[in-house]
Amino acid sequence: MPRRPLTKPLPTLALVLAVFPVLLILALLGYAFQARLHLGHWPYYAHPDPNDLGWWLQDGALRLGFTGFPLTALGAVCLAIFGRSRTREFPIWTVIITAAISAGLLVAYGRLDPGGFVSWFWD
């Protein structure tokens, strides 16, 4: 029975890093939904300030994630190149395409800003 390449930790870590921007979008939507439940209405630009909600851990993690997402995409690509240099079974194109699509989705989401949650978060 051939071994599957995703059972090793390096391909799994590379795919998690590649999908990180999409997870960041979901985390922002979850943060906005939590604010909706807390406030009784959807948050909008400058009302309330995300820092005023008192959820400093979530706020800090999202800010760190948004500023560091290019490094995670680059890390995924670097891990894919390193993994392919070690074994030919490494799913290099899966990781690279996933990282590119995920980063593109995050940039598009930030530009389009459906719901205004990005502008609310960064006000």
Instruction: For residue 70, say if its preceding peptide bond is cis, omega within 30 degrees of 0.
Output: no
Which structural domain, as residue segments, surrounds residue 59?
A: 10-121
Q: Is residue 4 part of a domain?
A: no
Q: Is residue 5 part of a domain?
A: no
Q: How many domains does the chain have?
A: 1
- On the 0-12 / 13-18 / 19+ scale of CB atoms within 10 A, 11 is buried
Q: What is the pLDDT of residue 7?
A: 53
Q: Is the dihedral of CA 79, 81, 84, 89 positive or negative?
A: positive
Q: Is residue 3 part of a domain?
A: no
Q: Which pLDDT tens digit goes with each residue over 49-105?
A: 888 888 899 999 999 999 999 999 999 999 999 999 988 889 999 999 999 999 999
Q: Read off the pTM.
A: 0.86
Q: What is the overall mean pLDDT for the chain? A: 90
State phi, psi for 51 to the nearest 5 degrees.
Answer: -70, -25
Q: Is residue 34 part of a domain?
A: yes
Q: What is the pLDDT of residue 21?
A: 96
State phi, psi for 66 to the nearest 5 degrees.
Answer: -65, -40
Q: Is the pLDDT of residue 110 over 90?
A: yes
